[in-house]
């Protein structure tokens, strides 16, 4: 089964991306995690996302489209990136997710990627 690991990072962790003193340690942890997924043969896809200051939220209510810049999530944590993995079970996906760096200060969601008969 394919699963998506959604890494929701705390604001302080996003700040490490632009802090020269903390950047290397921050990125080394993410590279190690991605490397472990790759070495185990479960990594299928993934990417970091730009910070919430670059977000645009679009909604349609009552036939009117609204476009707003900035993060408007109900959570303090913001989506920082994702990994698509292929594993045998949801339990195996959870085992990988608990080691995601975002789990320390933010949260990590796991979503099964359904196969609707389109080859994966």
Q: Name the nearest CA neighbour of 54 among 103, 14, 8.
A: 14
The model's pTM is 0.84
Domains and CATH numbers, the chain: 2-113 (3.30.70.1060)
CB 6 within 8 A of CB 111: yes
Strand residues in 75-120 grouped as ranges (E):
78-86, 107-113
DSSP letter at 53? G
Please report the pLDDT score of residue 92 as a whole number: 97
Q: Name the nearest CA neighbour of 78 among 98, 99, 105.
A: 105
Please report the pLDDT score of residue 43 as a whole number: 98
Q: Rounded to the nearest 5°, which phi and psi values hold at 106?
A: -120, -125
pLDDT in tens, the chain (120 residues): 999 999 999 988 988 999 999 999 999 999 999 999 999 999 999 999 988 778 888 889 999 998 877 655 555 778 999 999 999 999 999 999 999 999 999 999 999 999 898 765
CB 34 within 8 A of CB 83: yes
């Amino acid at each position: 089964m394919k699963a998506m690991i959604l890494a929701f990072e705390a604001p302080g962790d996003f700040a490490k991306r632009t802090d020269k003193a903390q950047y290397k340690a921050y990125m080394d942890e993410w590279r190690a995690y991605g490397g472990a997924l790759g070495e185990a043969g479960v990594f299928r896809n993934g990417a970091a996302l730009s910070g919430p200051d670059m977000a645009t939220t679009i909604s349609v209510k009552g036939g009117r489209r609204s476009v707003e810049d900035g993060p408007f999530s109900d959570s303090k944590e913001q989506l920082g990136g994702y990994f698509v993995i292929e594993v045998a079970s949801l339990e195996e996906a959870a085992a990988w997710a608990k080691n995601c760096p975002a789990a320390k200060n933010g949260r990590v969601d796991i979503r099964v990627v359904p196969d609707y008969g389109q080859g994966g």
